[in-house]
Amino acid sequence: MASEQLRAPGSKPGENMLWGGRFTGLSHCGLDPLMVSYNESIYYDRAFHTQDILGSIAWARANYKAGILTASEFSAIESGLKKVEGEWVAGTFKIIPGVDEDIHTANERRLGEIIGKEVGGKLHTGRSRNEQVATDMRLWLRDELRKIEVFLVDFLKVTAARAEQEIDLIMPGYTHLQRAQPIRWSHWMLSYGMAFASDLERLREVIARVNLSPLGAGALAGNCFGVNREAMAKELGFEGLLWNSMAAVSSRDFVLETMQWGTMLMTHLSRWSEDLIIYGTGEFSFVRLADAYSTGSSLMPQKKNSDSLELLRGKTGRAFGQMAGLTMTIKGLPSTYNKDLQESVEPMLDHVKTVSDSIRIATGVLSTLAVNPEKMRASLDPFMLATDLADYLVRKGVPFRETHHISGQCVAFSEKSKIPMDQMKLTDFQAIDSRFSQDILDCFSYETSVEFHSAAGGTAKKSVEDQIKVMKSILE
């Protein structure tokens, strides 16, 4: 039978499964082979091999201290588990299809082969896979999120460094994709930098909630052998315990929150990418991607496509889909553990990789990006100083609602006469409103315009420098 081929030589149906005893009365055919493969998770949750080994050693130690294991038994289990981990690291661990349904089963099966089933079989005393998988996932996710934190800090350091170095570059700022007011290029970089800095703060909060231990929660009701949960949590580097055993084994909020966080970060990366894609077009030419982050066309030799940025934008949909999918998976589950929760593992693995890779790609893009100050300058338009005209009259005591109307008349005169506003004469302005004086002509300076926006958060040089300091303080 096909199902017989899925079992280890000499084994009975269900014998090597952690849940097998209840099902040994099945016919010799055992499980449907399709059900075997449909149920197993070993080919992706083997990513948790290190975490599963560490958790098992902590568990064995707790059982030894609780009097369940002797000193020699604990020593054998610890030594055996380290050998199993060595096989995973060396790439020599042999997965047995149909037997090693998940990383927990595989590790325990191999442990029994190394130290003997009599002692190896004591490892699982008082422990459920429900708590085991939750522990593995939290340990793995905590470690990966800490790596992502480092990557995000590096990205923000590049942003801050470029903002400092290129602070004197002025470019158009846009609303509705229409030129609005002149801004510093650094101000644009920091507009996203502050969003990513907020993402960093949120990530640190997520890590704290991920880093709580479910170990010792049992299948759902807790442990009946008096293991010291606090000691196990400390050994594994957890910051605290999950205080309700039912919630500890059934909650995947920590995965969902990670995906919600990742989706927000990717949304920011997508918008950042979109701006740079636009700024890199021939119509703008504000920036140019390095060859390392671009591709060409199979037909048109002149093309240089911003594929790195387009992929960042595209993978945002992937990240959102994983988050939305997991939400639908868990939204109607009864308490406590249900097999549906296995569907939280694969999307978590892929989501974390997608986010991690994306941040590093973005860092590479920004650190190698070339800017074209001349093109930025050439895209500035005197009409972008229309608000400065209104502000000029405000400083002379004219109500803003009135100055806005007057400035609009100046724009209309320029459009009708085809005379750029910065080339209009004093008499042209005074014909519109007599309160214009000779110094009105001083308004037509983009440097003066950006420096007028000196309140905290503005585009004046000092304001931008203050923003850089704030962002650096968040990185620390």
Report the distance separating Cα 382 and Cα 421, nearest Å. 6
Q: Tell me, yes or no, if 297 is annotated catalytic.
A: yes
User: For this structure, is 405 an active site residue?
Assistant: no
**Residue 214 · residue 134 · CB < 8 Å:** yes
β-pair partners for 171: 183
Choosing from 28, 176, 434, 473, the catalytic residue is 176
Report which of 363, 354, 272, 258 is spatially closest to residue 313, judged by C-alpha positions: 272
- Count Cβ neighbours within 10 Å for each residue of 131-153 and write b for 16 or more, e otherwise: bbbbbbbbbbbbebbeebbebbb
CA 191 remoteness from chain centre: 19
Residue of 274, 308, 268 whose CA lies nearest to 174: 274
Asked whether the CA dihedral 360, 366, 370, 375 is positive or negative, the reply is positive
The catalytically annotated residue of 297, 335, 417, 454 is: 297
Instruction: Write the CB contacts of 161 (distance below 8 Å, at least 6 apart in sequence).
Output: none
186, 162 Cβ separation under 8 angstroms: yes
**Inter-axis angle of helices 345-368 and 129-165, to 10 degrees?**
10
Output the six-digit token pair for 106: 């595989």
Query: Residue 138 and residue 209: Cα distance in Å, rounded?
Result: 10
What Cα–Cα distance (Å) separates residue 232 from each residue in 237, 248, 255, 295? 9, 15, 22, 50
Asked if 91 and 208 count as a contact pair (C-beta separation under 8 A), the reply is: no
- DSSP string for 409-445: HHHHHHHHHT--GGG--HHHHHHH-TT--GGGGGG--
Assess contact for 107 and 52: CB atoms under 8 A: yes
What CA–CA distance (Å, rounded) separates 284 from 372? 10
Phi-psi map region of 252: left, alpha, beta (phi>0 left; psi -120 to 50 alpha): alpha
Q: Which residues are tagged catalytic?
A: 176, 297
